[in-house]
Amino acid sequence: MNIAQAKDEIKHTVQAYLKKDAQGNYRIPAIRQRPILLIGPPGIGKTQIMEQIATECGVGLVAYTITHHTRQSAVGLPMITQETYEGETYSVTEYTMSEIIASVYRCMREQGKKEGILFIDEINCVSETLTPAMLQFLQCKTFGNRAVPQGWIIVAAGNPPEYNKSVRDFDMVTLDRVRSIDVEADLDIWMNYAADRHIHGVILSYLQLRRKNFYRIETDVDGLRFVTARGWEDLGVLMQMYEELDIPVTEDIVREYLRLPEVAEDFFSYYELYRKYEDDYNIREILRGQAQPAVFERLMKAGFDERLSVVNLLLDALKEPLCGLFGTKRFTDTPESEAVFAALTNAFDFLEDAFGSEGSQEMLLFVTGLTMCKEAAVFLAMNPLPKYMKYNEELLGGGRRQKLLQELKKD
């Protein structure tokens, strides 16, 4: 399943495990509350969905990457205590409280949340000395002699063996006590997430054209080479800051994030074209309703890659003022909101003049981009724009959207 489906499954599990009866007892007893084992390739958002689930369910979250721990920090340090048996006193080894269990109690105290999620990442990549403790944790919900507090649900995550040489297989006894969910990278799901997080528009534009380059892991004579969702997001954040500071984005910088040379080279070439299109088409002039005839002439002769870039450049240019309005919560009756409304109107007029009014792929991408942007969605809900409403109904309703998207993927 994809990461969005996995999020729903885990969220539903949290709701089910925390359901209580009239006496305040959990309807599903702790012994039947299987830990969730989330298995998927690195960098697809396993940790991020846990933060979202905890927020949406109103519970606490304690997260650990277990490979950063030793047996002592996970289980607790040994200490000597005195016990009396049949009149004789003996020295006995016990353990201090696990750092991880202590963090759960600390979260309960500081956040005032008695229920929550204990998330352990990279659980199948632990050292040999820590493996027995991890098996005990999944089977018995304990670290050392301390149990996970009642009302705290265990979710563990790991990578399939093809992505990590340190992966250790779980035995049948352990697997029969967990609920295993396999997750795969999914570009369409990530694109929705990326639009919501305002990932750099050039990345969204590029991945719409080069879908196969979203997530790739390969091994050759030079070793492991890869491109992941995390790499795209982190690169996008850095690029936005570099551009704001007027620092050039170089191919070497791109290669630091996209560790597959052919993808890094291809993306950087596209990035340079994207910036050139911004100047060539004078995007700001289009949004002021002052597009020159030469722009229409060039766009009609352009290939789909170039047309798609122009659509995403328009969306990029609109997001900045939309985010500004969202930050002030002044969506109507201000000079700023009127300017945004005029810019949106001009963008629709331009796309109609360039590609016709019968619902082109370019218009579909533009309307979809606005719909996925929460700031644009709020603004358009408070300031209805007839052309947006028209194309939203025509292109995103029924099977029309799916048909256009399939055509787009073929291109």
Whole-model pTM: value is 0.72
Sign of CA dihedral 307, 310, 315, 318: negative
Band of pLDDT at residue 357, cut at 50, 70 and 90: low
How many CA atoms within 13 Å lie on the side-chain side of 366? 29
Beta-ladder partners of 353: none
Asked if the model's pLDDT at residue 331 lies above 50, the reply is yes
Asked if the model's pLDDT at residue 119 lies above 50, the reply is yes
Distance of alpha carbon 299 from alpha carbon 307, whole angstroms: 7
Q: Which residue has the higher pLDDT, 188 or 326?
A: 188
Using the structure block, give the residue that is written with the tokens 């003996």: 90
Distance of alpha carbon 382 from alpha carbon 270, whole angstroms: 36
Band of pLDDT at residue 344, cut at 50, 70 and 90: very high
Sequence-distant (6+) residues with CB within 8 A of 373 are 195, 196, 198, 315, 319, 322
Band of pLDDT at residue 408, cut at 50, 70 and 90: very low
> For the chain, what percent of residues have pLDDT higher than 90?
19
Asked if the model's pLDDT at residue 300 lies above 90, the reply is no
Token representation of residue 234: 């982190």
Sequence-distant (6+) residues with CB within 8 A of 190 are 3, 44, 45, 214, 229, 232
Condensed to tens digits (0 to 9), the pLDDT of residues 70-81 reads: 556 666 666 677
Asked if residues 265 and 271 have their Cβ atoms less than 8 Å apart, the reply is: no
Q: Which residue has the higher pLDDT, 122 or 345?
A: 345
| DSSP 8-class letter at 26 | B
* Average confidence (pLDDT) over 225-240: 91
Specify the range with the lowest mean pLDDT, choosing from 90-104, 213-227, 243-257. 90-104
Condensed to tens digits (0 to 9), the pLDDT of residues 253-266 reads: 999 999 999 999 99
Out of 307-311, 390-394, 396-400, 406-410, give the one with best mean pLDDT.
307-311
Q: Which pLDDT score, from 0 to 100, does residue 163 have?
A: 64
Asked if the model's pLDDT at residue 405 lies above 60, the reply is no
How many CA atoms within 13 Å lie on the side-chain side of 187? 16
Asked if residues 153 and 117 have their Cβ atoms less than 8 Å apart, the reply is: yes
Asked if the model's pLDDT at residue 141 lies above 50, the reply is yes
Beta-ladder partners of 223: 220
Condensed to tens digits (0 to 9), the pLDDT of residues 46-88 reads: 888 888 899 899 998 888 877 665 556 666 666 677 778 778 7
Band of pLDDT at residue 33, cut at 50, 70 and 90: confident
In this structure, the number of other CB atoms found within 10 A of the CB of residue 345 comes to 16
* Average confidence (pLDDT) over 207-214: 90
How are the residues of the chain apportioned to helix, strand and coil, as percentages rounded to the nearest 5? 60, 15, 25
- Please give the backbone phi and psi of residue 171, each rounded to the nearest 5 degrees, phi first: -80, 170
Asked if the model's pLDDT at residue 402 lies above 60, the reply is no
